[in-house]
Amino acid sequence: MAQSSVNSDLIQSPGWRQAGQVFLLFILAMLFANALLLLLESRLGLYSYFAAPQLQLLTQPIQWFCQVMTEL
């Protein structure tokens, strides 16, 4: 009983709360930057990063992993 109250006090301390807020703010900033870059690339027609051969190379290890998992 006492141990759970110690844990809840630790989680609700201002340091942990501030760290959580900073983490959420960082994640939201990264998502916003990613959306902004995608919008910019679509406006300027810069699809080189999302070209089909490169995208296939990026997804190739995932396809191999799925094949190995289905064969087991």
Report whether pLDDT(61) > 90.
no
Report whether pLDDT(50) > 60.
no
Average model confidence (pLDDT) for the chain?
Answer: 76
Q: Which residues are CB-neighbours of 16 under 8 A, at least 6 positions away?
A: 10
Give percent of the chain above pLDDT 90.
18
**Helix and strand element counts for the chain (H, E):** 3, 0
Give the integer Cα–Cα distance in Å for 27 and 33: 10
The whole-number pLDDT of residue 29 equals 95
pTM for the whole thing?
0.46
- Digit-coded pLDDT (tens) for 8-32: 666 667 777 888 899 999 999 999 9
